[in-house]
Amino acid sequence: MFTKAGRQSAKLTHTIQQVSDWRTWVEENLDSARKLMPYIVHPLGYIFIGRRNDVGQAEQTLLRQIIVENRRLFRIHSLDRLLDWGKDVLNVMGKDGSLSLQTKALTHRDLRRGLPGDAQHYMRHFVPMLTKTKRYPKEMLEDREHIDFDGRGV
């Protein structure tokens, strides 16, 4: 993501420009964009680049600055984040590929009875993941305002 001199790499610069170009195209061609994505207004770009272990402290600082300055335009995640999300999906999906959690909203009466077994199973996997990464629901919601490379805290 960065050169040895600590500058933004050409690859990262090009990727950010691609996101900017796409956002501009959507704004200038909103009718066409809405044929593909009916509710699109101001799209948020996602950039997946690099690996967590390849980002040192100095790069973290530079990356954090880029992310904070552009948080309304795009998010930057490592390729490792895709793996994390894949594992989360696998925890929700059964081994046979069927959805293991129900897809309907629970009533107040249902909720008073407690979480269904499949939801409890998911939470047993989800909560340890939050604890391991030190990301909790409050901080996850704050990501909409302040986000850094793979949730390490700004």
How many angstroms separate the CA atoms of 72 and 54, rounded? 25
Mean pLDDT of the region 7-24 = 94
pLDDT at 140: 47
Q: What gap in Å lies between CA 25 and CA 29, rounded to an integer?
A: 6
Q: Both 67 and 106 in a single domain?
A: no
Residue 33 lies in a domain: yes
Does residue 122 sit within a domain? yes
Residue 3: per-residue pLDDT:
87
Closest C-alpha among 139, 109, 106 to residue 120: 106
Whether residue 92 is found in the same domain as residue 40:
no
- The number of folded domains in the chain is 2
% of the chain residues with pLDDT over 70: 68
Which residue, 49, 61, 57, is CA-closest to 154? Answer: 61
Helix/strand/coil percent split, the chain, to 5: 55, 10, 35
Residue 108, pLDDT above cutoff 50 = yes
**Alpha carbon distance 72, 103 (integer Å):** 30
Could you report how far apart the first and last alpha carbons of the chain are, in Å?
A: 19
pLDDT mean across residues, the chain = 78
pLDDT in tens, 48-96: 988 888 888 888 889 989 999 998 999 999 888 888 888 777 776 766 6
Residue 7 in this model has a pLDDT that exceeds 80: yes
- Supply 150's token pair: 């793979």
| Ramachandran area for residue 84 (φ above 0: left; ψ -120 to 50: alpha; else beta) | alpha
Q: Is residue 1 part of a domain?
A: yes
Residue 20 belongs to domain spanning: 1-77
